[in-house]
Structure formats: structure tokens, C-alpha cells
Structure 1
Amino acid sequence: MFLNFIRFLNTFSSALVMGAVFGVWLGFDPFSLSPTAYIEQQQNLISALNVLMPRLGFVTIIVTLINAFLNKRKKIKMTWLIVASLCFIAAGLITAFGNQVINAVVITWNPEKPPIGWMRYRDEWWTLHCYRTLASVLGMTIVIWINTKTDTIP
């Protein structure tokens, strides 16, 4: 019963993390926006997600590792869950040491008067976001695969 709850929580939290970063990747094209629109959109994203998402990501990592531990007798499942947690850890590190560093700068900008070189920050943030999206999608894919193949994977 507890293992089923952990599997559910693992899938649910992974879906929330991946859905948020994938949604931004899919629906937010920073290159088509004017400087003012970009800054306003980015500041809105920062205000809405900058605290919540790292916490949700941390919970996802912990639950994925708990799931791996609970599957320690099933070495292949445990190994894949550790790989999934490494994907989520990679996304978290990219966020903490890349995106959030840029966010701390962008949040101070005046949308009506973009700083010189603002596009460099935009481009770097987007590249990092693409990497963390890939890591999150990969982690989520592994979690779904492992959690739905409960009887067929040793």
C-alpha cells in the first residue's frame, strides 16, 4: 500500500515539475516578443514560479529516491529510478546555478527601459531552460515507465 502511494506521489510530482517546464518551453517564445513584453512576461514567470518550482523539484527528487530505495530488491527498477532522480537533480542544478542567477538580474529590470545587452540574458536563460526541460522530460518518462511496469521489470 505504501509503495503504491509513493509510486502515485512520484508520478504526480514528476508530472507537475515536467508539466511546468514543458509548458513554458512550449508556449513561451521569447524571441518573438518585444523587449518590453519579454521583460514583463519573464518577471511574471519569476514571480509565479521562482520559489514554488525549486521546492516542488526537491520533493520530486526525494520521492523518486524513496521509490528507488523501496525497490532495492529489484535492481533494474532501482537503477532506473536513480537515473530519473539524477535527471531531476540536473534540472535543479541548472535552475539554481543558471536560470535563477539570471532571474535575479531580470527581476530588477524596468520593462520600459531594457538594459543594453538584455538579449544575452534572454538567450542564455532560454538555452538553460531547454536543457532543464530535456532533463525533466527524461526523468518523467523514466518514472512513468518504471511505475507502470510494476510486474515486468526485475
Structure 2
Amino acid sequence: MPQRIIRFCTIVMAALVAGTIFGIWIGYDPKDLSAPTFIEQQQSAILALNTLMPILGLITILLTLTSAFLQRKNKFVFALLLVASVFFILSGITTRFGNQLINSVVMTWNMDSPPNNWMELRNQWWTYHELRTLSAFIGLCLIVWTNMKKN
């Protein structure tokens, strides 16, 4: 029973993390936004998610590793869950050393006087976001797949 609870919680947490990242990718493409709109939207999102998402990501990684450990007798499931953990770790590393570095700069911006390089930083941020979206999505798919394969 505890293994089923861990598996369930792993799916839910991975879905929350990947779903939030995916929702940002689908709904918040900044390429057509004016500088003031981009800055306002980005600063609002940073305030709302910059602390919460890394915590949820860490919980997801720990649950996925725990689930892998509990299923270590099934080498195929064990390996896939370890790979899923790696994809969530890559998503976290991309966030920490890509997106969040740019986030800290964006938080200093004034909507009325954006820096000259705001579009360059916006585009860099978006590239990092696309990478972490793909990584989190692959991690989620692997977690769901292992739970479909294991009764």
C-alpha cells in the first residue's frame, strides 16, 4: 500500500510541475508583447512561481527517486524512473542556472524604461523555458508509462 501511495503522489506532483511549465509555454509566449506588458507579466509570474516551483520540482524528484527505489526489483521500471528523475533534474538545473538568473535581472526592470537588451534576455529566457518544458514533459511521460506498465 505505501508503494501505491508513493506512485500516486509521484504522478500528481510530476503532473503539477510539468503542467504548470506546459501552461506557461502554451499561454505566455512573450514574442508579441510590448516591453511594458512583458515586464509586468514576467514580474508577476516570477513573484508567484519563483519559490513555489523549485520546491514542487524538488518534491517531484525525491518522490520519483523514492518510487524507483521501491521498485528496484523491476529493473526496467527502476531504470525508467531514474531516467525520469534525470529529466526533472535537468529541468531544475535549466531553471536555476538559466531562467532564474534572467528572472533576477527582470525583477530590477522598470516598465517605463526597459533596458535596450530586454528582447535579447526575453528570447534567452524563452529558450531556457522551452528546454525545461521538454525535459519536464519527458519526465512526466516516463513516470506515467512506468505506472501503466506496473500493476
The 5-angstrom pairing of residues 128-143 of structure 1 reads: 128-143=128-143
Q: Which amino acid aligns with 1:87?
A: F
Compute the displacement of 1:50 (Å). 0.2
1:122 is matched with: 122
Report how many aligned residue pairs link the two structures: 151
Compute the displacement of 1:112 (Å). 1.2
Q: Deviation per CA, 1:49-85: give whole Å up to 9, x if none.
A: 0000000000000000000000110000000000000
Unmatched 5+ stretches in structure 2 = none
Q: Identity, % of aligned pairs?
A: 48
The 5-angstrom pairing of residues 28-47 of structure 1 reads: 28-47=28-47
Q: Which amino acid aligns with 2:130?
A: C
The 5-angstrom pairing of residues 1-154 of structure 1 reads: 1-151=1-151
2-structure distance, mates of 1:45, 1:98:
16
Unmatched 5+ stretches in structure 1 = none
Q: Alpha carbon RMSD of aligned pairs, Å?
A: 0.6
1-structure distance, mates of 2:150, 2:48:
36
2-structure distance, mates of 1:66, 1:142:
15
What is the TM-score normalised by the length of structure 1? 0.97
